[in-house]
A and B are shown apart, each in its own frame.
Chain A
Amino acid sequence: MMILERNTLLIMAVLAALFPLLVGNQYALHIGIMVLFYAVLATSLNLIVGYVGEFSLGHTAFLGLGAYAAALLSLRMGLPIWATIPLAGVISALFGAAIGAITLRLRGPYFVIITLAFAEVLRIIANNWMGLTNGPMGLSGVVQPALLADASPLAAKRFYFYLALAIAVVALYLAYRFVYSNNGRAAVTVRENRYVAQSVGIQPFAYAMRAFVLGAFLAGLAGGFYAHYITFVGANVFGFAFMVSMIIMVLIGGKGTLVGPLVGALLITVLNEYLREFQELRMSLFGLIVIGVVLFLPNGLMGFLNLRRERRRATPAAAAESHAEAPGGSA
């Protein structure tokens, strides 16, 4: 599993790196950039949904914090892009530590609602604190890197594509290291069975917290990138639309795998673009997708593929265990 995921990720990275060389179309590049942006976001949400095993509806808090942090650092303090994006991640992670300290004490529906409450509080603050965030007008004109001053629009898109790719590579490297280390195993142990986890020496809260803060950091990076790429940040970065996209990407790809959310990001971003003109139709379709995934594909596309792989491997030897048809999902 580990080797398979690593190789898939490497192949994906190489393909992504070749993409701008093969494509000279600004629109296609823009879609590529959005896929990478969402890949980072979905990966970060997956750390919480897939590895802590709790469902956060407030992950946009960290996207938004990162976006506002980068925009303010750039506009008010004149920091360059190579400083604002990492700092956006750090600031997000600090908030993640504070919010996690409160929210991770709760589970199930209580966790869902308290995370949502935090995101909503931040959205309302962003909408009302004129002095800092410029309220509903938002922060516009986030500074572009100097080297883009004379660049053609196509070159600028290529620059942002590789920047997004770099962030995605960092995000997946960190996530991969985390997941396939003692940390990730401890988090999965807690997710699967808190009692077993404690009885082998794991402090449940510590590992939920590590995953949560890492998730916040990555979402903050994505937010920082978003601020510079779009050049505008408004309170909508805390909104439900981003949240819905992230959830669907993680669920449809398969939570608890690293490749799954990337596949989800690719599918949903392209679908998003394809249905761009039909906002409500698109969202209502997303709702149906969520329902469909929960009912028919509880472990996402990756879970489905793994199950098939396992079945195929098991078929020659295992007439004996064909009675065990229980689903493998976590309760």
Chain B
Amino acid sequence: MSEVQNFPTPMLSVRGLCKTFGGLKAVQDIDLDVNSGEVFGLIGPNGAGKTTCFNLITGFYTPTAGRVTFQGHDITGHSPYRIARRGLVRSFQKTNVLKALSVFENVLAGHYLSTRQTLLATFFPHAGVSRAEREARDSAARIVELMGLAARMDTPAFRLSCGELRLLEVAVALAAKPALLMLDEPAAGLNSQEAMRFGSILKSLRRSEVESIVLVEHNMSLVMEVCDRVMVMHFGSKLAEGRPEQVKNDPQVIEAYLGRARA
């Protein structure tokens, strides 16, 4: 993209990212930048390689080629937990929460990084440990309320509705205090009303909770509503990138979605 960037260094920078699975090129030569303060949308038809991209950036797959830089650090091929510790936290496409635990316990578990302690402090806790615990509990309660799940605080996760589960997933990710939050189809299974409510929650998160958000999403009206910039993927490659209304009218993108002229 030859567009002039407003920001000197992007927060997340991906260059030449590739992944092949036994000869199949799932992701080819992807470049992308996510700037601080931005909501970035990653869209494309099913099987375009969006989730693979996610897995490559967050360390769940190792890239075949390419580099991933986050806040100036090369994180290519690092383990997921190390990447999370740098402040890049993701959610998953299929519902992934701790089913047997309550909503509050889920979010509390997400506070792992802020309550780490030595084994000695585990067995003989000092004042710092109990303060960190208290802060984590307060923060967990606050995040649950922020996501609009206050009424379900003590409900086990397996009793939640689909929409509530999606909110809980985001809450668990937020609990890890990310700088960059990456959400993989967070509105899947929501009706349009729920999706809109979800969108307004997402918008309120930027600045207040996280610096930037990357969103993989199929729900176009949600993407158009919340994203500052979007990138379109098709057959593992980048098809277009730009502001939502720009991309929406790109003939190549329309073609990809409607499936005409595949050759």
User: Which of A199, A204, A210, A310 has the most chain B CB within a 10 Å cutoff?
Assistant: A199
Please determine whether B85 and A183 come into contact, CB atoms closer than 8 angstroms. Answer: no
Residue contact B158 to A199, C-beta cutoff 8 Å: no
> B100 near A192 (CB under 8 angstroms)?
yes
Give residues 131-168 of B contacting A (CB, 8 Å).
133, 156, 158-159
B125 touches A328 (CB 8 A): no
Does B214 interact with chain A (Cβ within 8 Å)? no
Complex contact B100–A321 (CB within 8 A):
no
**8 Å CB contacts to B: which residues of A161-216?**
173-174, 177-178, 181-183, 185-186, 188-189, 192-193, 195-204, 210
**Taking A201-B84, A330-B100 as contacts, is the C-beta distance between A195 and B112 under 8 angstroms?**
no
A198 adjacent to B81 (CB under 8 Å):
yes
CB of B49 within 8 Å of the partner chain:
no
Q: Which 8 A-B residue pairings sit nearest by Cβ, starting from the closest?
A: A201-B84, A198-B80, A192-B98, A182-B115, A200-B176, A201-B113, A189-B109, A324-B159
Q: Tell me whether A329 is interfacial, beta carbon within 8 Å.
A: yes
A326 at the interface (CB under 8 A from B): yes
- Tell me which residues across on chain B come within 8 A of A196, comparing CB atoms: 92, 96-98, 109, 172
Question: Which residue in chain B gives the minimum CB-CB distance to A213?
Answer: B119
Identity of the chain A residue whose Cβ is nearest the Cβ of B182 in the assembled complex = A199
Q: Are A195 and B92 in contact (CB under 8 A)?
A: yes
- Does any Cβ of A come within 8 Å of B221's Cβ? no
- Which residues of chain A are near B92, meaning CB under 8 Å? 195-196, 199
Are A200 and B125 CB-contacts (below 8 A) given A181-B117, A330-B99?
no
Q: Is B84 within 8 A of A200, CB to CB?
A: yes
The answer to whether B89 touches A193 (Cβ under 8 A) is: no
Task: Identify which of B96, B101, B129, B176 contacts A201 (C-beta below 8 A).
Answer: B176
A303-331 Cβ-contact flags toward B at 8 Å (1 or 0): 00000001000000000010010101111
* A-side contacts of B108, CB under 8 Å: 185
Which residue on A lies nearest to B115, using beta carbons? A182
B110 contacts chain A at the CB level, 8 A cutoff: yes
With A210-B119, A328-B158 known to touch, is A200 a contact of B113 (CB < 8 Å)?
yes
A200: which of B101, B156, B172 is its contact (CB, 8 Å)? B172
Interface residues on A, range: 20 to 34
CA distance A210 to B118 in the complex (A): 11
Q: Could you tell me how many residues of chain B have their Cβ less than 8 Å away from some Cβ of chain A?
A: 39
Inter-subunit contact A192/B159 (CB<8 Å): no
Alpha-carbon distance between A95 and B133 when the two chains are bound, in angstroms: 32
Q: B91 within 8 Å of A by Cβ? A: yes
Q: How far is the CB of B19 from chain A (nearest CB, A)?
A: 18
B173 touches A200 (CB 8 A): yes
Query: A188 touching B109 by the CB < 8 A rule?
Result: yes
Closest chain A CB from B111 CB (angstroms): 8
A200 touches B97 (CB 8 A): no
Contacts of A183 in B (CB 8 A): 117, 119, 122
| A/B interface sample: 16 pairs, CB < 8 A | A177-B122, A177-B125, A182-B112, A185-B109, A196-B92, A198-B80, A199-B90, A199-B91, A199-B92, A200-B109, A200-B173, A201-B113, A310-B156, A326-B158, A328-B158, A330-B100
Complex Cα spacing A326 to B84, Å: 32
Roughly how many angstroms separate A199 CA and B113 CA in the complex, as a whole number?
11
B156 / chain A contacts, CB cutoff of 8 Å: 310, 328
Q: In whole Å, how far is B24's beta carbon from the nearest beta carbon of chain A?
A: 23
Instruction: Point out the residues of chain B lying under 8 angstroms from A203, CB to CB.
Output: 79, 81
> Among residues 67 to 116 in chain B, which have CB atoms less than 8 Å away from a CB atom of chain A?
79-81, 84-85, 89-92, 96-101, 105, 108-110, 112-113, 115-116
**Nearest Cβ distance between residue A84 and chain B, in whole angstroms?**
22
CB pair A199 B173 closer than 8 Å: yes
Taking CB atoms, residues of chain A closer than 8 Å to B173 are 199-200
Q: Given known contacts A196-B97, A199-B176, what 12 new A-B pairs fall within 8 Å (CB)?
A: A173-B123, A185-B108, A185-B115, A195-B96, A198-B80, A200-B84, A201-B89, A202-B81, A202-B112, A310-B156, A326-B158, A328-B100
